[in-house]
Amino acid sequence: MQRALSVSRMTGNRSSFPDWYQAIVREADMAELSPVRGSMIIKPWGYGVWERIQQTMDRRIKTMGVDNCYFPLFIPLSFFAKEAEHVDGFAKEMAVVTHHRLKSIDGKLQPDPDAKLDEPLIVRPTSETIIGDAFSRWIKSHRDLPLKINQWANVVRWEMRTRLFLRTSEFLWQEGHTAHASREDALASTRQALEMYREFSETVLAMPVVAGEKPENERFPGADNTYSIESMMQDGKALQAGTSHYLGTSFARAQNIRFQGESGELEFCHTSSWGTSTRLIGGVIMTHGDDDGLRLPPAIAPRQIVIVPMLRGKPEDAEVLAFGEALVATLNETFALGEPIRALLDTKDQRSAEKRWNWVRRGAPIIVELGPRDVAAGMVSFMRRDDLRDGDKVKSQALSRDEFVAQVPGLLAAIQKGLFDEAKARLDANIRRDITTYDGLTEFFGAAPDDDEEGVAFKGWVRASWSRPSGEALDAIEQKLKIHKLTLRNAPLDQPATFAPCIFTGEPGVEEVLIGRAY
């Protein structure tokens, strides 16, 4: 039977990995490029995945005592100018609105010179500044703290090199913002958000991650500390899947976010921010996809079970459809992974084989093929998307209708766990811990290719001891790593009791850090 994708991942040679990724996005009908450079149209199946991410994460956010709200898309330029390091970090990516009206000049629509804004507006790249301005009005006393909010929104960062879901000029995300009376409380909130991201990634996305603190040169602009979760893609590159930042009092000082303490003195708040985005969908694709297309963890699949009726234009078609409708109704009243099952009867006017492969490419966890013989025997024949093939042969199972309904919750749970276990084994097997010198590091990774998207052999990551250099010493290390297109990912939260000498300086190590190529 012909494979669903024309581009193979080629396990031994990952040079086609970018083409494989783009083929999955296209063939799974997830998204497409928009007429605006670097932006994307998220199609219903792709947006259905985002809705599942949004819904399941939002529940977790609310259990942290965080309330949802919404802030404007446009931010006055002066708000960014108050925090110099922050504006420097985003200046190259900012989209700026300078006029509020167009005018036909010499037959061409152009900004009306008489409609220039008094102050330019930045199209939201992130919301620390405008939310900080609101916090300065909302917070007066220690009794107003902690203040915890979140918004689901879109942001614009004018990226030069874009790829669907992974890096686009406009993307969807959530951003949490909190204000606290003390450093300890703000740091605890920062770490709580990080742990929420770790648990969500592993239990919902089935995507194993390493949680840790970013080095100084990788911090969010203006933050005191930045933490991340890093996931390993099937080409060995790291994907930063979520970040959480302790902002100290720098944003509070810039925005005058102060509170009256119990002693009556005015004090600056300690703030945090944290976010994830539609980049998570790109991570799911690159973590779980195979040569037949996407494989979705059941927890985020818009449709967990799809029933494909085999219709032949004969009288028995009515019985097949009736059987399928009744089965879907029963399944949708059955719970799996803590929620009602999401089942669909695909009645589109299309050949059964085409419909089946459409759902294979989209990654529906369980695909049922229902024909007259199945109906007559009261049987259900199905495929598991996580375990589709035995060599080139497609595997199929058959159960009685009642057995199938009874076993579905366990099947979906097994698929969710199996996808995680597979990815976790790959992650654990491809973190090298035996490289102790910089020469050994560069020898392992080899010279970087001219194009960092093509021709990169699978290498995984290196976890090595380092002395946490800063300032010019760290800048020099960063420049050396750039030659090989390597970056410091994070210092994992789980650290050993003792450390080898620093891989970069030879000085006594103080922690271990992950090093690798990244998206």
Instruction: Kindly report the number of other CB atoms within 10 A of residue 132's CB atom.
Output: 26
3-state SS class at 315: coil
Q: Cα–Cα distance between 437 and 503 in angstroms, integer?
A: 5
Mean pLDDT, residues 93-109: 94
Mean pLDDT, residues 79-96: 83
Name 262's Cβ contacts closer than 8 Å, sequence gap at least 6: 142
CATH code, residues 14-288: 3.30.930.10
pLDDT band at 216 (very low <50, low <70, confident <90, very high): very high
What is the full DSSP assignment across 193-232? HHHHHHHHHHHTS----EEEEPPGGGSPTT-SEEEEEEEE
* Residue 134 predicted with pLDDT over 80: yes
Q: Cα–Cα distance between 248 and 187 in angstroms, integer?
A: 9
* Residue 402 predicted with pLDDT over 80: yes
Residue 81: its pLDDT value, please?
Answer: 85
Residue 16: its pLDDT value, please?
Answer: 85
pLDDT (tens digit, 9 = 90+) per residue, 460-515? 999 999 999 999 999 999 999 999 999 999 999 999 999 999 999 999 999 999 99
Give the amino acid at 485.
K
pLDDT band at 448 (very low <50, low <70, confident <90, very high): confident
Name 103's Cβ contacts closer than 8 Å, sequence gap at least 6: 109, 110, 111, 112, 113, 114, 115
Q: Cα–Cα distance between 63 and 110 in angstroms, integer?
A: 49
Q: Is the distance from CB of 509 to CB of 467 less than 8 angstroms?
A: yes
339-340 and 335-336: which strand pairing?
antiparallel
Q: Cα–Cα distance between 386 and 11 in angstroms, integer?
A: 17
* Residue 271 predicted with pLDDT over 70: yes
What is the pTM assigned to this prediction? Answer: 0.95
Residue 89: its pLDDT value, please?
Answer: 75
Identify the CATH homologous superfamily for domain 431-516.
C-terminal domain of ProRS (3.30.110.30)
* Residue 3 predicted with pLDDT over 60: no
Percent of the chain with pLDDT over 70: 95
Q: Cα–Cα distance between 251 and 321 in angstroms, integer?
A: 60
Residue 453: its pLDDT value, please?
Answer: 52
pLDDT band at 4 (very low <50, low <70, confident <90, very high): very low
Residue 389: its pLDDT value, please?
Answer: 96
Lowest mean pLDDT among 125-129, 240-244, 355-359, 449-453: 449-453
Give the amino acid at 292.
D
- Assigned CATH topology for domain 298-428: Rossmann fold (3.40.50)
Residue ranges of the chain assigned to CATH 3.40.50.800:
298-428
Q: Cα–Cα distance between 161 and 138 in angstroms, integer?
A: 39
Mean pLDDT, residues 206-233: 96
pLDDT band at 447 (very low <50, low <70, confident <90, very high): confident
Residue ranges of the chain assigned to CATH 3.30.110.30:
431-516
CA atoms lying within 13 Å on the CB side of residue 411:
23
Give the amino acid at 296.
L
The backbone torsions φ and ψ at residue 510, rounded to the nearest 5 degrees and listed phi first, read -120, -15
Percent of the chain with pLDDT over 90: 88
Q: Cα–Cα distance between 218 and 225 in angstroms, integer?
A: 10
| Paired residues of 461 in beta bridges | 431
pLDDT band at 8 (very low <50, low <70, confident <90, very high): very low
The backbone torsions φ and ψ at residue 161, rounded to the nearest 5 degrees and listed phi first, read -120, 120
Residue 153: its pLDDT value, please?
Answer: 98
pLDDT band at 1 (very low <50, low <70, confident <90, very high): very low
Residue 162: its pLDDT value, please?
Answer: 86
* Residue 287 predicted with pLDDT over 50: yes
Residue 450: its pLDDT value, please?
Answer: 61
Give the amino acid at 510.
V
Tokens of 57: 């994460």
H or E segment at 176? Answer: strand 170-180
| Paired residues of 389 in beta bridges | 394
- Side-by-side strand order, sheet with 431-432: 431-432, 461-466, 511-516, 487-488
3-state SS class at 237: coil
3-state SS class at 12: coil
Name 441's Cβ contacts closer than 8 Å, sequence gap at least 6: 435, 462, 464, 486, 503, 515
How confident is the prediction for the chain on average, in pLDDT? Answer: 93
Q: Is the distance from CB of 172 to CB of 270 less than 8 angstroms?
A: no
The backbone torsions φ and ψ at residue 225, rounded to the nearest 5 degrees and listed phi first, read -140, 140
- Taking every pair of Cα atoms in the chain, the longest distance, rounded to a whole number of angstroms, is 84
pLDDT band at 240 (very low <50, low <70, confident <90, very high): very high
CA-nearest of 149, 159, 14 to 70 is 149
pLDDT (tens digit, 9 = 90+) per residue, 336-395? 999 999 999 999 988 888 999 999 999 999 999 999 999 999 999 999 999 999 998 999
